[in-house]
Structures are given as structure tokens and as C-alpha cells.
Amino acid sequence: MDFKIAVLPGDGIGPEISEQGVNVMTAVCNKFGHKVSYEYAICGADAIDKVGDPFPEETFKKCMDADAVLFSAVGDPKFDNNPNAKVRPEQGLLAMRKKLGLFANIRPIETFDCLVHKSPLKDELVRGADFICIRELTGGMYFGEKKEGVDYAYDTNAYSREEVVRILKEAYKYAQQRNKHLTVVDKANVLASSRLWRAVAQEMAPQYPDVKTDFMYVDNASMRMIQEPKFFDVMVTENTFGDILTDEGSCITGSMGLLPSASTGEHTPVFEPIHGSWPQAKGLNIANPLAQILSVAMLFEYFGLKAEGKIIREAVNASLDANVRTPEIQVEGGAKYGTKEVGAWIVDYINKK
């Protein structure tokens, strides 16, 4: 297969982890006989500094022309600490999602046995937890009508039936491929938009008799994720709830640095780690590249290339078992490995298989 990949390194640690993701993808393509080419593009604070736009038209064109986007991270403190900033790096991320029609964000929450001790939860609660959060990505408050004043502001949480139907179809597809259990998360006892979500889900559930569908208020779901994470198989929810719940879910594993994601929809799919740009670590060679590398595994799997995804996952697990880890997940007394060294070890593992 021929791949044309748009690479958006972004800000902070983005360029460092992006390099390792590209190296791993190249190694896998070489091993399995795929051709791959890369088009690099700017986004986030880097793009604001260079052209004044966090998602320039040229970047959008490169994304549209690609088979997939390998994205890293955006964000910079100089914008975070300036409430009056009119343009922010994160606006580029929202623009990318909207322009590419990326309405479904897929975030696996998977534990690694050798890192269970890093989780803030008890071993017996998290060991074996393995579920997927599917977040609607282009509707809700993030894209609804807004008003911002000195003494009054509002955000509109708007959804159409069509938007709800298409994300639920994605959720049911994943549930059918897994353990056939779907949890629809809403706040239907309070919010009108959530009542639409629940009504549409109740109408659709009989079309998927092989899937057990249940409903849960978001506050209960956030509690249940901590009390009993192994209850969930596939969870689907709206944009704002999904943003919060997926970050909560990342804590179950003990490290955000191991969790990838995919955003799919109408045009080019995007694959990225769920963590941020961590600007304080920029250039220090300490950022964990595994989430970026696992995003490459998701990219291959999206195109039906399971063996390619499998070898990446094997390499990541092997690196963890060999204690080839960046500082935040290294065992006490373990050898020191940086971003580049972990990436190089995984590439070497793939080349030798």
C-alpha cells in the first residue's frame, strides 16, 4: 500500500515525539513493503508565530491531500496565561476537526500490567481494564453559539439528530467488534440536548440486538469509571463530557504518555496522542513517545493492516518489559532513556523481527 502522510508536529514536545512516530512508521512500511511519503505542515502556536493562523489554509490543503494525518500536540504558556489573546493554538485543533469533518474521536483506555502500580487506583480495580471512549467531536458547546462579555457569557450546547445518529452508528460499530456492550453517557435529567441524545439512542438500540445498550448520567459515569472501570466496553458521549471523561480515563492507566487516539469522519483521519504539548519539557529529550507511536499502530489498523499494528504494539510492550522507558514511568534504579533512545529501541525491535 502507498501512504501519503501529513505530519503536524505542532508545539512543545510535539516535534520530538513526532520524529519517533515517523521513524516507527517508516520502519514498519519498509518491513511490510509499503511505500510512504511525508508532507510536513505547521499548526498551533508555531503557526501563529509564523503566519498568524493556528491552522493555515496550506496546512488544511496538505491534510486534505493526505491519506492520514499524524498529529502531535499544540499549546503554549504565552497564550494560556493571556486571557485577552484573540488567537490561540487550540483554535487550530478545533479548526482541523471542523474542516476535516472529524466527528468521532476514538480513545482506547488500556492498562499495561507492568504499569498498574503507577495508577492512582488499586491494582484489583484497574488490572485488565480495557474500554473505548467515543467522543462526538464537532458539535456541542465547543462549536455552538457563544457570547463573551465582562459580566456575562454563554456557550450553546446544540446538537442535531443527524449529528447524534452518526456518532452512535460509530459507537455501535465498535461495540459489535468488541464485547457488545455500549454505554450512552448523557445528562438527560437536566439538559435538553442530552434528552435528544437519549431519545435517538433508544430509537436506534433495537437495530443492534446483539449489543447490550445502557444509559448513564455523566456524573454517575465519572464515578463508575473510578469505582469499576472494568464495567465499560464502549462508551459514547457528547463533546464536552467526552473531553472530561477521556482525560479521567487516562489516569486509570497510570500515564497519559501511553494513550493514543484517532479522529475520524468525513475526510482525512487524524491520529494523535491524547496528552498535551508539555512545553516545560521541550528540548529536554524526556517526553514519552509511546502514545505517538501507538497512534501509528491505530493508523495502520484503521486501514485494515492488523499485522502492522500488531508489531508496533508488540514492540511497545517489549520496551516496557525491558524497562526501556522515559523517566516518568521508569522503575526505580532503571537505566536512563530519553525520547530518542526509546524510539530508536522500538525501531530496532521492529527491524529485527
Q: Pull the grid cell for residue 4.
A: 501519503
Among 119, 143, 5, CA closest to 72: 5
Main-chain phi, psi angles of 280, to 5 degrees:
-65, -20
Amino acid letter, 114: C
3-state secondary structure of 260: strand
- List, by residue number, the catalytic residues: 142, 187, 219, 243, 247
| SS3 label, residue 181 | strand
Distance CA 121, CA 335 (A): 26
- Residue 41: partners with Cβ closer than 8 Å, 6 or more residues away: 6, 7, 8, 56, 58, 59, 62, 63
Nearest to 243 by CA among 144, 338, 142: 142
What 3-state DSSP class applies to 74?
coil
CA pair distance 258, 274, nearest whole angstrom: 9
**Cβ atoms of residues 159 and 193 within 8 Å:** yes
Output 279-286 pairs: Cβ under 8 A, ≥24 positions apart.
279/11, 279/12, 279/13, 279/75, 279/76, 279/77, 281/12, 281/13, 282/12, 282/13, 282/16, 283/16, 285/16, 285/338, 285/339, 285/340, 286/326, 286/327, 286/328, 286/338, 286/339
Q: Which of 258, 296, 278 is nearest to 115 (CA)?
A: 258
